[in-house]
Structure 1
Amino acid sequence: MNLPTIKQNGKTVIIVKEPRVDAHNSAELKDRILKILEGGERNLIIDLGEVEFIDSSGLGALLSGYKNASLHSSAFALAGLKPRVRSMFELTRLHRVFDIYSRLQEATSS
């Protein structure tokens, strides 16, 4: 899975450069998030701007990241959700759980 990580305004951003986050690659995303949090990062943003599809495994990986961030007293946000991906969060009511920003720039400046 292509998951470049950058620092922007003191926050760590994982950019998901995949069209799909599903059962085939969600474990890798989950592991990357956990590794960054265990490394001491306190402000993590997941940029989903290139993701066209996410399934329950992908949602589960992000929810796991959110829970681990809470355990590490870290901020955890999502950015750049396309309409189809955003609808999955709304259908599952997870849009009430996550801090979701329409653009990465909004997330990094908050």
Structure 2
Amino acid sequence: MNVEIDQSDARSVLRLNEERIDAHNAGELKNSLLNALEDGCRLLIVDLAAVHFIDSSGLGALLSGYKNANLRQARFVLTGLQARVRSMFELTRLHRVFEIAEHVGDVVVNP
């Protein structure tokens, strides 16, 4: 999985440079999210701007990251959802679970 990680202080931005998040790479995503949180990240922003397709495995990996963030009292924010990806979140009602912002720059560090 092609992931760029930008860390500053207790904030990490994971940019997923993949067109698809599915069963083939969801495990790697789950590990990347867990590693960022284990490194002490207090705000984890997952930038999905390059992702045009996500299936249930990808949603499960993100949900696992969200749960791990909550266990560590960290914020977990998704950004850059493309229309097709956003519709999957709405169809599964996960848009009510996740904190979602339009762009990485829109995320307020201390809300």
Fold match by TM threshold 0.5 = yes
Tell me the alpha carbon deviations over residues 10-55 of structure 1, each in whole angstroms, 9 at most, x when there is no partner. 5210000000000000100000100111111111000000000000
Alignment match, 2:73: 73
Contact 1:9 1:108 in 2 (8 A): no
Contact 1:80 1:102 in 2 (8 A): yes
Alignment match, 2:100: 100
User: What is the percentage of aligned positions where both structures have the same residue?
Assistant: 55
* TM-score (normalizing by structure 2): 0.93
Alignment match, 2:20: 20
Contact 2:48 2:81 in 1 (8 A): yes
Change (3 A) 1:107 1:27: same
Alignment match, 1:91: 91
The structural deviation recorded for 1:103 is 1.2
Change (3 A) 1:88 1:8: farther
Extract unaligned runs of 5+ from structure 2.
Answer: none
* Aligned counterparts of 1:94 and 1:24: Cα–Cα separation in 2: 21
Is 1:33 aligned with 2:33? Answer: yes
* TM-score (normalizing by structure 1): 0.94
- Amino acid in the other structure paired with 2:39: G
